Amino acid sequence: MLIFDAHLDLSMNALEWNRDYTRPLSEIRAREAGMSDRIDRNNNTVCFPEMHKGHVGICVATILARYVKPGNPLRGWHSPEQAWAQTQGQLAWYRAMEERGKLSPITTLADLNAAVELWKDGPSADSAISYLLSLEGADSLVTLKHVERAYENGLRAIGPANFGPGTYAQGTRATGGIGAKGADLLREMYRLEMILDVSHLCDDSYRESLDVFQGKVWASHSNCRELVPHERQFTDEQLRELIERGAVIGTSANAWMLVPGWVLSRTTPGEAQVKIAHLADHIDHICQLSGNSLHAGIGSDLDGGFGLEESPMDLNSIADMQVLPGILQSRGYSHEDITNIMHGNFLRFLREALP
């Protein structure tokens, strides 16, 4: 079944992790053997061949570069201009992959329909994977004029925050609202008919963002706080509000977001016995809240700064996401429901959102 993955950090891995996603997974891992600069070295789960194997034919792919002010201990760039330049380098990588025939951009409804037709007909291993460009964390937008520049370059969605404090919103492990700059950003996004990604917004910024922004909203990679108590997840009240706004919530395969009690850098998938079935738990919770299968999707975030050490124990690559339909079927979900979750909901959303 076609998988629409609503959150993959492809360019970050290509440029910051120096991974050649055109190569087989085993080759990428072999080149990282013995490296220790990142916790997930030799543990990655994504590459174009594995996406093809798993029929992950359409995705939301990110550009991201955090600007960190003095005193912020997070990894990032020391000026907005440096962060902007980094995002432009990531954009250049996407363009290079387009020239190579590995990726195909989705910026219009016609692009989306063409991608669906390609994957419906069973593409060859050389067929391009279609992607919609999203900005994760807006700090690289030096001015509001940069928003329109980014839109003209194909950007269609923005998540104003990532981890920590930000210029336009406050993210995971931070507190506070969006301020005047954040409100101005949201108004400019609405003017351009861009999508607001509320993933990573802290509770205060989430509340203010939804009060200000009147356009299309989704959560590309977020799970349920009722199942895993942590402010990175959404409460049932927040999920119900997103459902009422017509949002689709892409559930993440990041292990610490799947099961409670995970201790970062200490717990292992085997110790936690975390499996892909736990992802189905979060999907099911969203469906139970909405009373239907129209608002849950996949936003795996695989290779999003973690690898096998923080993934379900029965997942070796992104291709293993294909076990989800069987898990959902065993829980009583119909073929129509499963189709909605695996790709239909995000496709329906984008058919309403894209020019």
Q: What is the pLDDT of residues 7-49, one digit of tens each?
A: 999 999 999 999 999 999 999 999 999 999 999 999 999 999 9
Question: CA 257, CA 240: separation in Å to the nearest integer?
Answer: 19
* pLDDT over 90, % of the chain: 97
Phi, psi of 201 (to 5 degrees): -70, 135
Residue 97: its pLDDT value, please?
98
The DSSP code sequence of 132-162 is EEEEESSTT--STHHHHHHHHTTEEEEES--
Q: How many domains does the chain have?
A: 1
CATH number of the domain to which 42 belongs? 3.20.20.140
State mean pLDDT over 283-305. Answer: 98
Residue 121: its pLDDT value, please?
76
Residue 181's pLDDT band (boundaries 50, 70, 90)?
very high
Which residue segment(s) compose the domain that 118 sits in? 4-353
Amino acid at 150: A
Give 17's DSSP letter.
S
Residue 122: its pLDDT value, please?
77
Residue 158's pLDDT band (boundaries 50, 70, 90)?
very high
CB 105 within 8 A of CB 98: yes
**230: pLDDT strictly greater than 90:** yes
pTM for the model stands at: 0.98
Count of CA atoms in the C-beta half-sphere (13 A) of 321: 34
265: left (phi over 0), alpha (psi -120 to 50) or beta: left
pLDDT tens for each residue of 318-345: 999 999 999 999 999 999 999 999 999 9
Residue 126: its pLDDT value, please?
81
CB 123 within 8 A of CB 133: no
> Which residues partner with 158 through β-bridges?
135, 196
Question: CA 186, CA 270: separation in Å to the nearest integer?
Answer: 42
Question: CA 270, CA 281: separation in Å to the nearest integer?
Answer: 18
